[in-house]
Every structure is written in structure tokens, then in C-alpha cells.
Amino acid sequence: MELTSMGLLVTTAVLAVAALVATVWLWPRLSASKLQAVLGRVGVLAVCQVLTLAALGLALNSYFAFYSSWGDLLGTDTATAPITVAATGLQVLGSRAVPGGRIEQVIMPGASTRLSSEAYVFLPTAYLKHKTEHFPAIIALTGYPGDPRNLMTRMDLPGRMAKAIAAGQVKPTILVMMRPSVVLPRDTECVDVPRGPQVQAYFANDVKQDMIAHYRVAPDRDSWGILGGSTGGYCALKIVMSHPEQFSAAVSLSGYFKTIIDRTTGDLFHGDKSLEQRNDLMWRLANLPAPPVKVLVTSSKKGESDYPATVRFLGAVRPPMQGSSLFLPSGGHNFNTWNRELPQALPWLAQQLVSPSV
């Protein structure tokens, strides 16, 4: 069974409960001081604990989406995603109606980068009704490795957007929900890797051009924003700061400010110190002209390790860039924290964007 299958989780949980019942039933028979009885007690306790820990681990992985397969968990999955570009441009794989609009599952081909990735596009009801109007758009990114479906199932971005539109908080806005890692299992940290995948360019240019070509999306920078959590938050800030000609605003939920290098990323810079510096957001603020963009960063004063770095980032922001913050009293690096921040963060971002239809 697949690592993320509900069948495996249920089976393991049932076995854990059965092991506990068996332990209680067998314990009187294993109460003797003989070696066989002692080994028996150790054995049933070990089986009980292993199955319980396995069930808890599977449940946590199902909720947080840490690993997508057995190969991902064991580190044996070394395959990369195929780099293909469809001749017909953006491809719609499926569509379904949801409260407040429609969600389309699509493939986003990159004409300039030769990258390609899955996305889910939320089209508000106003888009479906008014056939000539153009709308602002937000690219929403998961963390690493992430699953774009988490943006719907765990964070309910389409539902939140539909409610904000219905309440008159924001103008109708399109959502483009994606993962930041387009060459899994590698984590590219949205870097344009020398002689490798040009991931930052893919999100900054190709995704936007795909959307403009296929949907009625306003092309101007003032109508485009990016939102992300964790790795997606770092990517959102970096892309909007690096490409102010394409985007005007970003939200970073528990994001960080410097590229993480580990076994999942490999060598992203290939000795290019200048490239490494440009991917360090604190270095950019200190050494490059401030971009004319607005950003909202979130963290928790207790429970998140990125809080001090987030405060330093805000302190380094200078005009024409504008920085805002949303700090919870406490909260961890998880969906629960982000779901407490989104009722304010998502409308904030949509409110920064220009709706040319109105």
C-alpha cells in the first residue's frame, strides 16, 4: 500500500489496538521470572510500541504531508520530474464546481524555462458570469515538499476567497495554487540554478504568461500577488522582491529569509557567490535598491523559531518597499497556525491588488 493511503493508516491503527488487547490478554501468562517469559514481555511491549508509533507517524504524515511515498521517506526516490512543454500551452485536466466558483486542475508549461508543474486554479463566480472582464490573480505556494491540494483541503483558500468576496472584503480574485518544488524530489528553494532548473524564472514569468494566455487575468504588476507558507513563504518574498516589474505584493506565512542548503537541495549555486547573495533577502535589503512592493510577514512570538529573523527583516525594510506584520502570541510551524492567520492575511493581499474590471 502507498505511504499516504488511508488503507495503510487504518490497518496500522487496527493492528496497534489489536496488539494492545493481545498484550493485556497475554500478560498474566508472561508473568513468570523465566527467561522465556521475560523475553515474551519485552517482545509484546516492543510490538505494541512499534505499531502505535507507526500509526501516529502515518497520521502525522497524512496531515502535514512530510513524505509523499516510500521512496521519499527512505531517500531512495532519485527520479526527477520530466521537463516537458505542451505545444498547446496550459492544459486543463479537470474541472469541478465549488461554492463561490470553479476549480480547474491544470498543467502549467514553461515556454522559457522548459519546466512544467501541476496547478489548481480557482475562478470566482464573477469570472464565470462576466465574460469580458479581467481579474487580479494570486499565486499560492505550499511548503516543501508540499501538495497543492493542501491549499484546498488544509487551508481552504478557495473557500476563504469566496467568503471574502461575498462579504465585500475584496474584489473577485483568481487563485493559482501550486507547490514551489517543480523538480521533485529536489528542493530548489525557487532558485535559478546555474546549468539547472530555472525555478524562480518559471514562477515569475512562465506561470504568469500561461495564466494571461489562457484566462482573463490582468497582466499589470499591480494586479498580481504571491502567497506562501514556509518554503513557499520564502519563495513568495524572494520572487516579489526580485521581480517587482511582475508582482506588487506578497504574503509570507512562517517563511524564512535565506536559502536553506541541505541534502534535499544539493548544490544550488555552484560557487556563484553573487547568486547566493541575491537569494539572501537580508542581503538584498542591505545592498540593493528597495523594490516598490508591499509585503506581509507572519510568525508567532512563542513557538516559531523564525520570529527573531522576521523582526530583523521588518526592521531592514525601507521605502519604497512597505512591510507589515501579523504576529500571533503563540503557534507552531503548522497548518493550524496558518489557518489562524489566513482570515486576515488573504484579504490583505487581495486588497493590495488592482481590479481593472471595476
Domain ranges in the chain are 6-64, 91-352
Count the Cβ atoms, other than its own, within 10 Å of residue 22: 13
pTM of the model as a whole: 0.79
- Can you give the pLDDT at residue 76? 62
What CATH number is given for 91-352 in this structure? Answer: 3.40.50.1820
The per-residue pLDDT for range 85-99, each reduced to its tens digit, is 444 589 999 999 999
| Residue (of 228, 284, 280) closest to 251 by Cα position | 228
Contact present, 207 and 316 (Cβ < 8 Å): no
Q: Which residues contact 270 (CB under 8 A, 6 or more apart)?
A: 193, 194, 195
Q: How confident is the model at residue 68, as a pLDDT? A: 65
pLDDT value of residue 85: 43
Please measure the distance between the N-terminal and C-terminal CA atoms of the chain and give it in whole angstroms: 51
Residue 83's pLDDT is 42
pLDDT digits (tens, 9 = 90+) for 100-139: 999 999 999 999 999 999 999 999 999 999 999 999 999 9
DSSP-assigned letter for residue 248: -
Which strands sit side by side in the sheet containing 101-109, from one edge to the other? 91-98, 101-109, 116-124, 174-178, 137-141, 224-229, 249-253, 294-300, 322-328
Share of the chain above pLDDT 70, in %: 92
Least confident segment among 16-25, 101-110, 233-242, 327-336: 16-25
Whether the Cβ atoms of residue 201 and residue 330 lie closer than 8 Å to each other: no
